[in-house]
């Protein structure tokens, strides 16, 4: 089992070394590259002002965040959700830098960069010279991002999860990630479903025989059946 957490943050500015802080974390759990339905989302009081340019990106104001918890009070829940999962992040150095700056303030061990996968680097390797921002990748892979008026950590993590699967090679050609009907499970032979509520449906043509049996094959089959007592094929 491969557990990954697709993660995004919003911040008060661009540089944690200049005292800027995390104000929102959104994270989505994947098991074997499939969303499980588990997610983590929190707004955080940064205990400082938000730069105007940052506010224009995410629309989160100092006033809105004033009544939300500070990082110290959410750190245990955050680290428990992350665990030892690989962190899938778009521009990992930015988000990991902020997360580790917050942990350092609390004298907590940092998360190693080796625990992260950077989807910007993945995109640039796969499509050299092309735009690698999240909106461009959504357009490339025909992922609907029309609800993304402003940056939001959970919205962006959700979009990034879809982009990440495509960067890995996309959905397997014989499987379809379709929401399973509530309270139902896929029937035997039609695929599998898990706790995420997604049903894995085999392509109905996957197992079609590429040709009809010949007369010789039919005759051989009939001769075999004739030698079997009470064969089910003869009932």
**Alpha-carbon radius of gyration of the chain:** 25
Q: To the nearest whole percent, how much of the chain has pLDDT over 90? A: 69
pLDDT above 60 (res 185) = no
Choice between 171 and 231, residue whose per-residue pLDDT is larger: 171
pLDDT above 80 (res 167) = yes
Active-site annotation holder among 41, 68, 151, 221: 151
Domains of the chain: 3-170 (3.30.420.10)
Q: Is position 151 annotated as part of the catalytic site? A: yes
Cβ contacts of 60 within 8 Å, gap of 6 or more = 10, 23, 24, 43, 50
Residue 215, classed as helix, strand or coil, is helix
Burial of residue 79 (number of CB atoms within 10 Å: 0-12, 13-18, 19+): middle
pLDDT above 50 (res 210) = no
pLDDT above 90 (res 99) = yes
| pLDDT for res 147 | 81
């Amino acid at each position: 089992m491969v557990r990954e957490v697709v993660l995004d943050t919003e911040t008060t500015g661009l540089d944690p070394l200049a005292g800027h802080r995390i104000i929102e974390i959104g994270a989505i759990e994947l098991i074997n590259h499939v969303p499980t339905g588990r997610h983590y989302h929190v707004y955080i009081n940064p205990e400082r002002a938000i730069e105007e340019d940052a506010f224009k990106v995410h629309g989160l104001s100092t006033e809105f965040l004033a009544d939300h918890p500070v990082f110290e009070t959410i750190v245990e829940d955050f680290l428990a959700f992350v665990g030892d999962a690989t962190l899938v992040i778009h521009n990992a150095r930015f988000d990991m830098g902020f997360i580790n700056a917050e942990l350092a303030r609390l004298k907590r061990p940092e998360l190693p960069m080796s625990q992260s996968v950077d989807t910007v680097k993945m995109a640039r390797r796969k499509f050299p010279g092309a735009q690698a921002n999240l909106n461009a990748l959504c357009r490339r892979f025909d992922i609907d991002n029309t609800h993304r008026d402003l940056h939001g950590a959970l919205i962006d993590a959700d979009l990034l999860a879809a982009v990440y699967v495509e960067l890995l090679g996309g959905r397997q050609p014989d499987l379809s990630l379709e929401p399973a009907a509530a309270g139902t499970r896929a029937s035997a032979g039609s695929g599998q479903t898990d706790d995420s509520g997604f049903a894995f449906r085999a392509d109905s043509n996957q197992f079609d025989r590429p040709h009809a049996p010949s007369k010789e094959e039919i005759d051989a089959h009939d001769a075999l059946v004739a030698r079997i007592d009470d064969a089910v094929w003869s009932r």
